[in-house]
Chain A
Amino acid sequence: MSNNTIEFRNVVKRFGDKTVVDNLSFHVRAGECFGLLGPNGAGKTTTLKMLLGLAEPDAGEISLCGQTIPSGARFARQRVGVVPQFDNLDPDFSVRENLLVFGRYFGLPASKTRAMVPELLEFARLENKADARVGELSGGMRRRLTLARALISDPDVLILDEPTTGLDPQARHLIWDRLRSLLTRGKTILLTTHFMEEAERLCHRLCIIEEGRKITEGAPSELVANEIGCDVIEVYGSAPSALRDELAPFAARTEISGETLFCYVHDAAPVNARLAGRTGLRYVHRPANLEDVFLRLTGREMQD
């Protein structure tokens, strides 16, 4: 196909009458961190399953590490580490044993895996937990162990399905830090997330998918500049529609989501001036971010 590490070309996946992945194309270059963003149920996990050869597309072509998927999937998986969405560490084993047993699945000799364990434990900041059972670990530790386990075969590519969902902020930042250090070591990363901050911090490029369709693709800063291109003032604490009528003439665009009014402004001064001093209102002026892009493209209102 090409020398992209990951390539999806016009991939379609249906479950019965429902098309869950709809003509999806994207590619990930070696050494890049690429994000698949989308609301729950957008088809992210199905996309990863197809990439790993664990679900067959109904149409389209997929390649991973130079292998055609699904026929060459098991050879491709030799060079890939996976961090799944739901914890699947082995509860019957200690932290160390989880790593040792996993190495076997890659056909690695025990001596080689054993030699790698201290480094992986250090990477995952689990040096003191080597003999702890998985059940004794916190959520963040479990995620880090899953990440360390994915690295047991020293893979070129890491595939992470919502790597920080359910983690507290400290744990999340530690995972981000670890992922960045992997990028500096030249690993290619594909991750799915619905945390915009995560995508903005980590991803070189990303694509936003909704109902299995790609709705946009690009570098985070590019997307923010192209899709929003101005600052945002968020106002909450009052009836948003009345406020909208008042502020709309001074904003490039306005949007309401729940009880919050979003004013997209090139010049914040007139809006700020009208809001200043009002009681019962809270407002914040900030640069546009990926969340604005995401919400704008997928709709501000909750979908489920």
Chain B
Amino acid sequence: MDAPPYDTDARAHRAVGRASRMGLALPANATNWIAVWRRNYLVWRKLAAASMIGNLADPMIYLFGLGLGLGLMVGHVDGVSYIAFLAAGTVGSSVMMSATFESMYSAFSRMHVQRTWEAIMHTPLTLGDVVVGEIVWAASKAVLSGAAIMLVAGMLGYAQFPSMLLALPIIALAGLAFASLAMIVTALAPSYDFFMFYQTLVLTPMLLLSGVFFPLKQLPEAVRQGAMVLPLAHAVELIRAAMLGRPAANVGVHVAILVAYAIVPFFVCAALFRRRLMR
């Protein structure tokens, strides 16, 4: 830039330039993303049965393996059987895993390996439309696995029927939050190997510290505070209250944090994708 550094016109111009550049990576309108979601849905539909089994087997094994096995030793937790306690945690963690993995491995394949995103960006859709479509799709898959586990838990009497329905909007919101967060990793990933860092350094600690397997109050206060910075603890707290038919405290705070995790990472990943794909 040859304009003097304190030239306010030039600064304003640059600010407008930045805004318009960012605009190119944001959704063009409120509905374009649906075409991207639908593309993923149509592919998934071809392999739905296999995909469902793959998605559900893992959390179910945890639920029954740990729930029944550990449950014998643990007895009751928080006034309910261990397996009923664990059921809500399993719903939360499977939402996290399924949204994250779709956002990382599958979206990365479509972006980097298959160049599907490039093809879509050659149409009137924008990068932002693609990213929103991918995030909502990953969240949709998360809802499916979360809801399926909840349904099984409900049928076996580990969750209360109608109150557990209140968990559905929380599952959807948590799905968006985890999908959005993982998209940042995808935007930065040079290859599939990179996702291992996020899994071991973020997902695993979050899984162990968010009240999935044992109540948060078992943790030292400092660790507990730290866990509350991450989204999973908030999701599990609300899902558990709904599934066990108990009143939940601080619903507004939990929801607000999940909303923040859905929105802020979206803008971060959109900026990163723009830098990666639109240069």
A is bound by B: yes
| A interface residue numbers (CB < 8 A to B) | 15, 49, 52-56, 70-71, 73-75, 77-78, 80, 82, 84, 86-93, 97, 101-102, 104-107, 153
Mask, B176-208, CB within 8 Å of A = 1, is: 000000000000000000000000000000000
Size of the B side of the interface (Cβ < 8 Å), in residues, is 26
Which B residues lie within 8 Å of A105 (CB)? Answer: 35, 120, 123-125
Are B24 and A77 closer than 8 Å at their CB atoms? Answer: no
Which B residues lie within 8 Å of A90 (CB)? Answer: 39, 43, 114, 116, 119
Given contact pairs A56-B278, A92-B43, A74 touches B125 in the complex (Cβ within 8 A): yes
B217 proximal to A (CB < 8 A): no
Q: How far is the CA of A131 from the CA of B23 in the complex (A)?
A: 39
Q: How far is the CA of A56 from the CA of B20 in the complex (A)?
A: 10
Given contacts A55-B278, A92-B46, 18 further A-B contacts (CB under 8 A): A53-B24, A54-B277, A74-B124, A74-B125, A84-B115, A84-B119, A86-B115, A87-B115, A88-B114, A88-B115, A88-B116, A88-B118, A91-B114, A93-B42, A97-B42, A101-B42, A104-B38, A153-B123
Which 9 residue pairs of A and B lie closest in terms of their CB atoms, listed nearest first? Answer: A88-B115, A105-B123, A82-B122, A88-B119, A92-B43, A104-B35, A78-B124, A74-B124, A77-B124
Count A-B pairs with CB separation below 8 Å. 71
Most chain A CB inside 10 Å of its own CB: which residue of B116, B121, B279: B121
Which A residues lie within 8 Å of B120 (CB)? Answer: 105
Which A residues lie within 8 Å of B168 (CB)? Answer: none
Which A residues lie within 8 Å of B123 (CB)? Answer: 77, 102, 105-106, 153
Q: How far is the CA of A80 from the CA of B124 in the complex (A)?
A: 9
26 A-B pairs (CB sep. < 8 Å): A15-B279, A54-B122, A54-B277, A54-B278, A55-B279, A56-B21, A56-B278, A71-B23, A73-B24, A74-B124, A74-B125, A84-B118, A84-B122, A88-B114, A88-B115, A88-B118, A90-B114, A90-B116, A91-B114, A93-B42, A93-B43, A102-B119, A102-B123, A105-B35, A105-B123, A105-B124
Mask, B136-151, CB within 8 Å of A = 1, is: 0000000000000000
Q: How far is the CA of A87 from the CA of B118 in the complex (A)?
A: 10
Which A residues lie within 8 Å of B38 (CB)? Answer: 101, 104
Which A residues lie within 8 Å of B28 (CB)? Answer: 74
B210 proximal to A (CB < 8 A): no
